[in-house]
Amino acid sequence: MGETPLLQLNHLSVQYGGIQALHDVSLHVASGEIVTLIGANGAGKTSCLRAISGLIAPAQGSMQWMGQDLRNRDAAQRVRLGLAHSPEGRMVLAQQSVEDNLKLGSFVHRADKVGCQQSLDEVFQLFPRLRERRAQSAGTLSGGEQQMLAMGRALMARPKLLLLDEPSLGLAPLVVAEIFDRMRGMNAQGMALLLVEQNAQLALRLAQRAYVLESGRIVLEGKAQELLHDSRVKAAYLGA
Ligand SMILES: Nc1ncnc2c1ncn2[C@@H]1O[C@H](COP(=O)(O)OP(=O)(O)OP(=O)(O)O)[C@@H](O)[C@H]1O
Ligand SMILES: [Mg+2]
């Protein structure tokens, strides 16, 4: 298989009580790669990202980070290893300021004050609107700004791989274009992305590779360009 991937999932299953959300999911993300995971509502996309970041424990299977077993690493340790998660629904702390929300993202590096300040400057450079609103409470931001904040908070951890759950949800097309443009920029600087998106068209145009999840199973995988022209993908996810 060549080089060791950044992240490797082997035969992963996730269960909630009696509900099996993921069955036998194997996937990988290489260093510097953009991979997208597409699928209908309830397919298991969020569960997959939550298992990767350590928010839920898989029932079966294993995960490796740069060849190392992730099993005994909790969520904070995974952030320290270079895995950050921008969750579905953004989950910003509404009462806290933009700046305080961002600083939470660098919690694992808090001993490195200079590094944290530098990360903050970089996030403000990427999202100038957050700088303008740094003292504003996060709950008063627009939907698009909250999405930028959620991404910015994850970037504060200086990840090698950023997990993004539905970054475009509920946003106007111009804001979506801006968010996708920023993803391109982060990737150009070497960051790998694992992107979960309802907007399969946009996601497949951005990504190099893709996996399609149906009822918790991976049913298709390949180059994003090829899946964009696959008749099954077109029929189910591209509204064609
Ligand atoms: N905490 C939970 N307890 C019980 N069942 C859950 C829980 N979280 C998710 N599920 C179930 O697991 C399945 C997969 O859910 P998941 O949120 O991973 O899907 P998704 O692909 O992210 O969907 P969406 O596109 O709607 O965000 C669904 O059937 C969901 O009802
Ligand atoms: Mg989801």
Give pLDDT, residue 89: 84
Asked if 36 and 237 count as a contact pair (C-beta separation under 8 A), the reply is no
Mean pLDDT over residues 17-29, rounded?
96
* Cβ atoms < 10 Å from Cβ of 112: 13
**DSSP codes, 20-83:** EEEEEEEEEE-TT-EEEEEE-TTSSHHHHHHHHHTSS--SEEEEEETTEE-TT--HHHHHHHTE
Q: Is 5 in the pocket of ligand 1 (CB under 6 A)?
A: no
Which ligand 1 atom lies nearest to the CA of residue 48? 18
In testing the pocket of ligand 1, which one of 12, 13, 16, 194 has its CB within 8 Å of the most ligand atoms? 16
With left for phi above 0 and alpha for psi between -120 and 50, is residue 75 left, alpha or beta?
alpha
Instruction: Say which ligand is closest to the CA of 21.
Output: 1
End-to-end CA distance of the chain: 35
Give pLDDT, residue 164: 96
Q: What is the DSSP letter of 172?
A: -
Give pLDDT, residue 110: 85
Ligand 1 centre from 49 Cα, in Å? 11
* pLDDT of 22 strictly over 60: yes
Q: Where do runs of H (alpha helix) occur along 54-171? A: 75-81, 98-105, 113-126, 128-132, 143-155
Give pLDDT, residue 24: 98
Q: Is 199 in the pocket of ligand 1 (CB under 6 A)?
A: no
* pLDDT of 2 strictly over 90: no
In this structure, the residue with its CA closest to atom 1 of ligand 1 is: 16
Q: Is 43 in the pocket of ligand 1 (CB under 6 A)?
A: yes
pLDDT tens for residues 46-91?
Answer: 999 999 999 999 999 999 999 999 999 999 999 999 999 999 888 8
Q: Is 177 helix (H, G, I), strand (E, B) or coil?
A: helix
Measure the CA angle with vertex 66, ends 62 and 72; round to 5°.
Answer: 45
Q: Is 41 in the pocket of ligand 1 (CB under 6 A)?
A: yes
* pLDDT of 240 strictly over 70: no
Residue 230 pLDDT grade (very low, low, confident, very high; cuts 50, 70, 90): very high
Proportion of the chain above pLDDT 90, given as a percent: 84
* Cβ atoms < 10 Å from Cβ of 142: 13
Q: Kindly state the tokens that stand for 96.
A: 């806290």
Domains identified in the chain and CATH numbers: 7-237 (3.40.50.300)
Give pLDDT, residue 129: 93
Place of tokens 């995988």: 221
pLDDT tens for residues 101-141?
Answer: 999 988 888 888 998 999 999 999 999 999 999 999 999 99
CA pair distance 183, 162, nearest whole angstrom: 10
CA pair distance 229, 89, nearest whole angstrom: 30
Q: Which helix (H) or strand (E) holds 195?
A: strand 192-196
pTM: 0.95
In this structure, the residue with its CA closest to atom 28 of ligand 1 is: 42
Ligand 1 centre from 234 Cα, in Å? 24
Ligand 1 centre from 99 Cα, in Å? 31
Taking a 5 Å cut-off on Cβ, the residues next to ion ligand 2 are: 45-46, 88
